[in-house]
């Protein structure tokens, strides 16, 4: 089970090398979907049925979304590969908070943007991801 951030990022980088050997990850973060991690936690096991875990990686060429294992924190199957020009337009409503930050990301094939919740543990990566992709700094 990967617990260290660097181990998880290396596992994601390896998964990306397998699909595109010439691309290099710039920044990777772990995220949980759903309205609010607090609310989903209060709902217990039932709340966990409504959330999905992902790794989102900005590479030099694309944004890659992998499903993340709930138990081992390893990247699982590849969900989306989104070209940078398209991905720049899909990020909205970035909110930086003390414990859980969030952003809306319109995943391909979805009607509405998906709320991605990012724990404080991954905030540094969020602070790198948004400006590198959109060119807009996150307000503290």
Q: Tens of pLDDT along 88-127?
A: 999 999 999 999 999 999 999 999 999 999 999 999 999 9
Q: Specify the residue for token string 């990020």.
A: 91
Token output for 91: 């990020």
Is the Cβ–Cβ distance between 136 and 130 less than 8 Å? yes
Query: Strands, DSSP E only, in the chain?
Result: 25-33, 53-59, 62-68, 75-83, 91-95, 100-105, 114-119
* Model confidence at 48: pLDDT above 60: yes
- Can you give the pLDDT at residue 138? 83
pTM of the entire predicted model:
0.90
**Which of 37, 69, 59 has the alpha carbon at shortest distance from 50?**
37
């Amino acid at each position: 089970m990967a617990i260290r951030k660097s181990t998880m990022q290396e596992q994601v980088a390896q998964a990306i090398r397998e699909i595109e050997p010439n691309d290099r990850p710039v920044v990777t973060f772990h995220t949980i979907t759903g309205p609010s991690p607090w609310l989903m936690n209060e709902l217990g096991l039932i709340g966990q049925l409504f959330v999905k875990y992902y790794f989102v990686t900005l590479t030099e060429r694309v944004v890659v979304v992998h499903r993340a294992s709930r138990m081992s924190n390893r990247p699982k199957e590849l969900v989306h590969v989104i070209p940078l020009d398209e991905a720049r337009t899909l990020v909205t409503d970035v909110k930086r908070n003390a414990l859980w930050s969030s952003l809306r990301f319109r995943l391909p094939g979805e009607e509405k943007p998906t709320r991605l919740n990012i724990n404080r543990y991954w905030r540094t990566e969020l602070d790198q991801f948004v400006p590198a992709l959109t060119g807009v700094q996150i307000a503290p």
